[in-house]
Structure 1
C-alpha cells in the first residue's frame, strides 16, 4: 500500500471513530422513504378484481389488484398456514424484470406448511375466508384485508390506504411533441380518445401511463456517494394496523425503549444493517442487525407480523391513544371516559423486493413465539461453554499475554470459559492467519487453555485483503467468488487491511467454499478448541456510503445489494457455522458470534449489541435492546460488559458484570485504546463482587441450559418481558428495566450511578417472590423498594418454582459437568412448586439421537418427586443431587424419607429454620436420572 493511500485510509478510519448522525441517512435523504412517507391516509387507488379469483389446494386464494392510477396489475396471494398463521403476498403480475424474493431456507427455515381454508362468504365487493377460529375479510374497493379472531379484528392491512408498489419500468425520454403548420402543438392522443369515446377509454386502461417522476427515483446521491439505480424505482410499502392494541414491540435493532414509540415527530424506525460506532440512545436509527418482526399485546391476546423482506426498510408507528389531540381528551373527561378502542397503526416501507407478510394470530405470547419459530427456526442449543463467561479484548497482545490472563483468572479463583483474540492476532489483517512473531505457536497456546477445559475464539471478518500472496483472497478471486461493482468488476473497498474485497456470500457455492477454510488443514494453527467471531459483516466498508456497500453492488444472479442488504451478514454467519460443523464432521455444536443479523440468524450462532460505550446509559439501554432481540427470535444475545469504548469506573463495571451475569450471552470486551479492565485488576472490593457475579452465572448454568433447550424445542426466549407470563397485567406493558428468566427468576439490574436500592415490581396478585440470596419474601402485585448495595443485584425466585443449581464452582464449566445439583424449591401459597432440568453431554449433537435426560420436579402435600418428562430421552450421567432447599414451608417436619423403587426407604438428614421457613435436606445422594420421592411427615 502506498503512503498516500494509507493516509487516506487512516483519515477515513478516524472519521468513523468520531461518527455522527450526518454519516447516516434520514428518511428525507432516502428517496423511497420520502416518497412513501409523503402519502396521506385516505382512499387507496388499489382495487381487487373480484372476477380474477383462483383457489389452490383449499389453502391459497389468488386475486388480481389493479392500481387505478396507472393501470398496473398486481398479484395477491392469501394463504392459511399451520399453527394459526396466515400469509399475504403481493407481487407484480407481469414484471419486466424478476423481483428479488428471499430464497426459501435462508430466512424461512423451509416452505411454510399450508392448511385448509374455507370460503365463508362471497359478494361482488368482498370475500370472507375462514380457518381455525379466524376469518380473513378481503374488501375490493378500496383494497383492504382484515384478520378477525373470535369476531374481533386483530390485524388489518391497508386500512389507511398506504399501499404503494413501484413496478419495474423502463426509463423513457418524453417524446418531442409534434407541431402543426401554424406552430401550435397538437394532442393526437386526446383527439383519438375523444373520437373513440368510452370504447377507446377502456382500451387505454390496459396501458401503463408514465407516472410523474420525482427526485431520487432513477439515481440518488448521498454526501459524495452516487447510487446509479440502473433498474429505477422498485420500492414497496403498506400500512398494517393493530385494532385494540396500544403497544407494539420488536423490529430490532435499535437503541430505544422496548415498547416502541410513536414516530409522529421523528424519523421512522430504520432497518438497515450498519456499522454505527458509539451509537446514540433513544432514537430510531438503524444499527448492526435487522429483524422485521413486530408483536402487539393487550390484556386479551398477543399477535405478530413478520415482514419478509431483506431490503432497507423504514417503519412508521402511530398510536391513536398516544396521538389523541387535546380536544378529544377533554371530551373523554366530560363524557366520563371514552369507549374508543385503541389502535396502533404501522407503515412499512422497503426499497425493493415484494410484499410478503406473515400474520401470527397467537392468541398468547407463547403461541406467537412458537408461530414465528416455525417460520424462521429456533436458537440451536449452544454448547455449555457458549453460555458461560467469555473474556475478550481488542487485543490480547501475544501468547505471553494470553498465558498471563489465563493464569490470573486461576490465581484469583475467577471462573471463565473462553478467551478471545481480535484482529491484531493475524498476519497483517489476513484472516485465517497468525502473526508469527506474536503467536509463534498458536496450537500450543490453544492446547494450554484447553487443558483447563477452556476454549479460544479468533476473529474472522468477511473482508479479504487484496493481496495475491494471501492464499484465501487469491483463491476467491480465481474462483470468481467476489462481489462485483456496478460495472461488473471486483468490488474494491477499504476495511482493516486497507484495500479489500468481499466474497459473495449470497451464493451457496461461495458459502460452501468459505466453510472449507475452517478445516484444520486449511486454517493452519487452529485446533478443535478454537471457535469463531464474525465482526464487520454488515458489511462495514470504511469508504462506502453510510460505511457499507454501495447499493448497486452486484450479487449472484444479477441482484443488487439494495435487494438483500440485511441478509449479507447472516450469510457470513451461516457459512462460518457450517465451516465449524464441517470441521467436526457434524459431531460438535459450533459456536460463532456475529455482529450483523437478520430473521433466521438464531439457527447459526450468537449476536451482541455492537460497539457500545462504557457509560451508565449504555448499561441501561442494554435491557430493552436485548428484550427486543430476544422477542424477535435471536435469543442467544448479549451486550459487551463494561462497554466497548471508554473507561468505565469500578462502580459501573461492577454493576455491568452483575447485569451481564443474568443475560443470555455473557462477554466482557473493550477497545484497544481503553485501559485494561480484567476483573482481577479491579480494586479488591470490586474484584470480589465481580467474582461473585461470575460465580452466580456458573451456579445457574443448569437453569440457563434448560431454558435454551426449551427454546430450541418451543421457540420461547429465555429472557422475556413480564407481560409474556402476566399477560393481563397492564403495569408490565411498558416495563423494560426488569425482566424474567424463564418463569422462575425476576431480574432487576441496577443501572444508575450511586444507586443503593431500587423499586422492584413483583407481578402476580397471588404470587410470592423470594430473594435468591436471603430468601426474604415479597408479595406479588405491588412495587417495593429493595435495598441493593454495590454487592447485590436484585434477583428473585418465584414462589411455586424449582430451580436447579450447581454450587461447586470450578475454573470452567466443562469441569463442572459431573458435579452434583442443589435444587432450590420456593413454595407458593399452596405450599407447592414445580420445575424441570435438562441434561445431556453439553457439547455434541447426540441429544438429537435421544441421549439426554429431561426431568420434572414437583413438591406438593409435603412430598418432593423427581421423574422423567420425556421417555424418549436416556443418558448415563454421574450427576447427582447433593442438596434440596425448600423455602416457604410453614411447619417443621419430623421426618424426611427417601423412596427409590427397588430400594429400602432411607431416612435423610435435614435441618429447619423457623425464622425464614427454610428446610435443607442434605445428601439424598440420588443420581439425577433416577425416579424418586422424598416424603415429609
Structure 2
C-alpha cells in the first residue's frame, strides 16, 4: 500500500497536506523496493559487531563442578574468561523429545527481556537422566536422544540415533554482550566496567547511539546483543525462516547480507532475497534421509541469520536435480544467529521424522485452530469497494456469472476518516442491513482494523487511550506520535494487559455496529509508521513493563491479533470460531490468525514465489496461508491472473485483492473466455472443500499443514529436496501449477509408485514427467493408495453445500489398495472440541470399499454418498453391490473401467457400509 491513501480524506489541514507531500517523496512509487530505506547488516551496529566474530574466538567455559541437576533440567555456571562476566546455562528436557537451552547473565545490571506470549503455557517437562564425565555431562532423553554439555570450551551437542544432529557453539563464535554502564571518557577501568566490549575491543559509537536515514536511536541501555553458531552436521538442507520472498530451501549468505527477521512494511518487495518482510518466525527445519530436526531461536528483537550451506544458492544441487540425478547431501549446514537484545533461548526438536518435528513444534508454539468452512473457500477484496451499492453489485456479479465465493472485504475507506470501529455514514450508512444482505446468501463480510489510532478530538478510541493511558510512549515518557493512513496517529501498547482487554471490548456488538457475521483483517501491524525509521517505530520507545521497543518489536503484531481474537470471541459470546487475517506475525501468531504474503506485485515471479513463501510459513505453524491473487500492485495481464487463480485454488488461503490505483479485477472482467476458465478453477476449489477441511482439522490435531513440501511425505527421496514449483496438499494430491508465461508444458517429479491426473485420470509411474498444458490445465495428481472425499454440487457459497452428497475418488496403488479420511462438523462453532464431530475412515482392499465411523462424536447429518470414482481399476466387474443399515444390500449401477464410476450408493456418511466389486 502506498501513501496515496492519505489523500482520500476530503478534509485535511494544510499541515497534513504538506507532510503528506513530504511522505510521498519519501515513499514514492517505483517498480521495486527502495532499499535505501532499510538497513543492511553493515548499517546495523550490532549485526556488524556480531558478524565480525571469528571462529574460535569465544572464551566461554562451563563449570560442571558447580552444576545442579533436577528431574527435567540442569543449571551450570558459565564464565567468559575474556572479561570475567558470569552467566548461567540452563538445559531443559520437555516431553516429546524437545530440548530447550537458555543462556543469560548471572548478575545483569537489570533484567534482560525474555519472550512472552509466543509459546504455550502448559509445556510439559520430560524426565532427564544425567551422566557426568570429566569434560561433559550427557543429558539423556531416551536410548536414541541425548544432549551433551562440554565444559572447555563451552559447546552443546545433540544426538539422535547415535548421530550428531545439532551443535551449539561448536565453532566457538558465541558473543553475549553483557549489560554495562555507559563509560565516561575520563573513567579509569574498574571491576564494574572493566571492558566496553567482550575481550579487549575498544568501544564503538554504535554501541551507545546509532543513526540511520535521518533517525537517531539513542540506545540508552547500551550494547546488549547476543549471537551464537548453531550447526547441523548431518545436512545442508535447511528450510523455513519465514518471512522472506525467497526459496523454501535456505540459501548460502556468504558474500552477501544475512537473512533478516524484523517486521517491516516493505513497499513493492523484491523476490529472491533475504530482506526482512512483514513477519518474523526464527524457526528452521534441517532434513536428510535419516534425520530431521527443528530449531527455534526465541528472540523478539531484530535478528540476522547467516548460513553456510555449500555455496550460492545450492546451485550444484539444483542442476543435479534438474537432470534427474537427485540432490547432494554434503555436510555440514552451518548457521549463526544474531539478535540485538534479549537472551539466548533455543529449542531443538529432535524428530527424527518431519512429521515428528511438526508435532513437537506444535507442542511448544501451539497449532493453527480449525477455521470456519467459509474461511477456506474463495474471498473477494479490494482497496476499496466504494460504497454499499458497489458491494451489492459485486456480490450480484458473482451470482450472475455463476461463480461461488464466501466473503467480501472492505479496506480502510469504509471507515469514517480512517477511524477504526466506525463506518462512513455517507458510503456505508447501513452496515447492518448491508451485511445481512450478504449473509442471507450464506456469505460473510470482513473489515480492516489497523493499529494506528487517529489523533482526532472526539474520536472515542483516541479519547479513551489518552484518558486511560493506553498508548506507546517515547523515551521521555510522552505519548508517541507517528504518521500512517489517518495522518497523525498514536499506537496502542498491546503489551499492556489493560490495552488488550480494552481492544477486545471494542469488538462487542454494542461497541461496533454490525452483526456477528463480520470478521477482521489486521493490517499495518508491523507496526507501520510512515515517518519512522525503516517505516516502523523507533527502537527507543517504551512499552509496558519498561521494555524498549527494540526488545519486543517482532511481538507487536502477535499481541494485536491475540486481542482481536479475544474480541471476536466476545462478539459471538464464545460461540463462533474467529477469523482474522494478519500481515505481521511472530512465533505463536498462528494460534489466532491466518496470514497472507503481503503487498505483492502483478508479476510472474511473485506468483512463483508464493509457493515457497507459504511452504516456509506452513512448517512454522501457519496452516492458513495465501497470496493476493493477481498481485496487489499493478495490473495483471489475463494470462497471469488466470494462472494465479489456478495456482491459488490449491493453496490454503484464497483471496483476490488489489491496490486502489489498479483497474477493477473482479474475475469476470477479463473476457468471456477467461471468465469461464476462472470459474472452472474456483469450482475445483469448492469441490475439494471436504478434503481441505479434513486437512485443516489434522493441522490443529497434529501440527501438520495442509500445504506441504514433498519431502515431508517422501523423506528419503533426495530428488524432492530442492523442488520449489510443486507441492503436496495433504498426502494425496500433488500440485504443479503453471508458473511461466506462455507455457505449453510443465516438468513434474512424481515420487513413490503411481499417480493419476486428477482431472483426466491418466496414470503416471514415479519419476520425471513432462506434462503438456493448455490454458485450462491445472496439473494436479492423486497419489495411488489414497481416497479423497469431494462434493460436486457447487453452490454460490460453501455454507450452502453443507447437506450435499459426497463423491469419493479412490486411487488404487500397485496392490489395488487405498485409504482416506473424512472429517465433518458444523463448520463454524467450537462444538467439535466437545465431541460434536464425525470422523470416517475409508479403505479399499480385496476388491471391497469400506467406510467405518472411527469417531462418531455426537454430530448428526443426513449427508450421503452419491458416487464413487475408482482410478486404476483394470477389469470391468461382473457386478457391484452395496450393504449398509440404511439401504440394505442392493446392486449398483456402474460404467467404465478407468475410471470405474459407481453411481448412487445412497449410503449415509454417518453409518458403516461397504461396496463389493465382483
TM-score in terms of structure 2 length: 0.95
Offset from partner CA, 1:909-931 (integer Å, 9 cap, x none): 21223xxx221111111111111
Offset from partner CA, 1:62-90 (integer Å, 9 cap, x none): 00111111100111001111111101000
Q: What is the CA–CA distance in structure 2 between the aligned matches of 1:616 and 1:664, rounded to whole Å? A: 20
Aligned twin of 1:911: 895
Contact 2:250–2:313 (8 Å) recurs in 1? no
- Pairs within 5 Å for 1:720-739: 720-739=708-727
Q: What is the CA–CA distance in structure 1 between the aligned matches of 2:118 and 2:310, rounded to whole Å? A: 33
Q: What is the CA–CA distance in structure 2 between the aligned matches of 1:15 and 1:869, rounded to whole Å? A: 60
Q: 2:648 aligns with which of 640, 644, 660?
A: 660
Aligned twin of 1:35: 49
* Shift, 1:210, TM fit: 4.2
* Shift, 1:878, TM fit: 1.8
Q: What is the CA–CA distance in structure 1 between the aligned matches of 2:478 and 2:57, rounded to whole Å? A: 46
* Shift, 1:887, TM fit: 1.1
Aligned twin of 1:109: 120
Aligned twin of 2:324: none
Q: 1:464 aligns with which of 434, 445, 453?
A: 453
Contact 1:43–1:142 (8 Å) recurs in 2? no
Contact 1:71–1:207 (8 Å) recurs in 2? no
* Shift, 1:572, TM fit: 0.9
**Alignment of 1:224 onto 2:227:** no
Could you tell which deviates more after superposition, 109-118 or 857-866?
109-118
* Shift, 1:2, TM fit: 3.0
Offset from partner CA, 1:649-678 (integer Å, 9 cap, x none): 000000000011000000000000000111
Contact 1:129–1:136 (8 Å) recurs in 2? yes
Alignment CA distance shift 1:222-1:770 (3 Å): same
**Alignment of 1:129 onto 2:139:** yes
- Pairs within 5 Å for 1:671-710: 671-710=659-698
Q: What is the CA–CA distance in structure 2 between the aligned matches of 1:413 and 1:2, rounded to whole Å? A: 47
State the SS of the aligned residue for 1:446: helix
Aligned twin of 2:34: 20
Could you tell which deviates more after superposition, 137-146 or 409-418?
137-146
- Pairs within 5 Å for 1:827-866: 827-866=812-851
Aligned twin of 2:543: 555
Aligned twin of 1:329: none
Aligned twin of 1:802: 787
Q: What is the CA–CA distance in structure 2 between the aligned matches of 1:243 and 1:501, rounded to whole Å? A: 48
**Alignment of 1:48 onto 2:62:** yes
**Unaligned ranges ≥5, structure 1:** 178-188, 190-203, 327-338
State the SS of the aligned residue for 2:67: strand
**Alignment of 1:876 onto 2:852:** no
* Shift, 1:508, TM fit: 1.8
Aligned twin of 2:113: 100
Aligned twin of 2:732: 744
Q: 2:78 aligns with which of 50, 65, 69?
A: 65
* Shift, 1:150, TM fit: 2.1
- Pairs within 5 Å for 1:249-398: 249-320=239-310, 342-398=331-387
Offset from partner CA, 1:502-553 (integer Å, 9 cap, x none): 11011122111100101111012x1111111000000000000000000011
* Shift, 1:325, TM fit: 14
Q: What is the CA–CA distance in structure 1 between the aligned matches of 2:730 and 2:242, rounded to whole Å? A: 21
Aligned twin of 2:772: 787
Q: What is the CA–CA distance in structure 1 between the aligned matches of 2:294 and 2:906, rounded to whole Å? A: 47
Aligned twin of 1:891: 875
Alignment CA distance shift 1:920-1:474 (3 Å): same
Q: 2:389 aligns with which of 361, 375, 400?
A: 400
* Shift, 1:867, TM fit: 0.5
- Pairs within 5 Å for 1:470-619: 470-524=459-513, 526-619=514-607
* Shift, 1:4, TM fit: 3.0
Alignment CA distance shift 1:14-1:864 (3 Å): farther
Q: 2:402 aligns with which of 410, 413, 419?
A: 413
State the SS of the aligned residue for 1:869: strand
State the SS of the aligned residue for 1:557: coil
The CA RMSD measured in Å over matched residues stands at 1.7
**Alignment of 1:818 onto 2:803:** yes
Q: What is the CA–CA distance in structure 2 between the aligned matches of 1:823 and 1:443, rounded to whole Å? A: 40
Q: 2:168 aligns with which of 157, 169, 175?
A: 157
Alignment CA distance shift 1:341-1:152 (3 Å): farther
Alignment CA distance shift 1:429-1:206 (3 Å): closer
Offset from partner CA, 1:796-850 (integer Å, 9 cap, x none): 1111100000000000000000000000001111111000000000000001110
Q: What is the CA–CA distance in structure 2 between the aligned matches of 1:753 and 1:404, rounded to whole Å? A: 32
TM-score in terms of structure 1 length: 0.93
Offset from partner CA, 1:230-286 (integer Å, 9 cap, x none): 111111111100001021011100011110000001100000000001101111100
Q: What is the CA–CA distance in structure 1 between the aligned matches of 2:279 and 2:462, rounded to whole Å? A: 26
Q: What is the CA–CA distance in structure 1 between the aligned matches of 2:537 and 2:196, rounded to whole Å? A: 31
Q: What is the CA–CA distance in structure 1 between the aligned matches of 2:313 and 2:283, rounded to whole Å? A: 23
Aligned twin of 1:181: none
Alignment CA distance shift 1:620-1:324 (3 Å): closer
**Unaligned ranges ≥5, structure 2:** 1-11, 317-327
* Shift, 1:433, TM fit: 0.7
Alignment CA distance shift 1:395-1:323 (3 Å): closer
Aligned twin of 2:411: 422
Contact 1:6–1:498 (8 Å) recurs in 2? no
Offset from partner CA, 1:545-584 (integer Å, 9 cap, x none): 0000000111001101100100101111111111011111
Aligned twin of 1:76: 89
Contact 1:639–1:665 (8 Å) recurs in 2? yes
Contact 1:454–1:812 (8 Å) recurs in 2? yes
Offset from partner CA, 1:877-932 (integer Å, 9 cap, x none): 1211111111111121111111124864111121223xxx2211111111111111
Contact 2:253–2:312 (8 Å) recurs in 1? no
4+ long deviations beyond 3 Å: 174-177, 204-211, 320-326, 901-904
Aligned twin of 2:237: 247
* Shift, 1:11, TM fit: 2.9
Alignment CA distance shift 1:167-1:811 (3 Å): same
Contact 1:321–1:343 (8 Å) recurs in 2? no
Q: What is the CA–CA distance in structure 1 between the aligned matches of 2:88 and 2:289, rounded to whole Å? A: 36
- Pairs within 5 Å for 1:192-231: 208-211=194-197, 212-231=202-221
Aligned twin of 2:16: 5
Q: What is the CA–CA distance in structure 1 between the aligned matches of 2:734 and 2:685, rounded to whole Å? A: 15
Q: What is the CA–CA distance in structure 1 between the aligned matches of 2:222 and 2:624, rounded to whole Å? A: 39
State the SS of the aligned residue for 2:74: strand
Contact 1:71–1:209 (8 Å) recurs in 2? no
State the SS of the aligned residue for 1:472: helix
Could you tell which deviates more after superposition, 891-900 or 75-84?
891-900
* Shift, 1:348, TM fit: 0.2
Contact 1:72–1:208 (8 Å) recurs in 2? no
Q: What is the CA–CA distance in structure 1 between the aligned matches of 2:313 and 2:132, rounded to whole Å? A: 36
Max radius of gyration: which structure? 1
Aligned twin of 1:87: 100
Contact 2:886–2:907 (8 Å) recurs in 1? no
State the SS of the aligned residue for 2:53: coil
Alignment CA distance shift 1:439-1:340 (3 Å): closer
Alignment CA distance shift 1:340-1:714 (3 Å): closer
Contact 2:236–2:329 (8 Å) recurs in 1? no
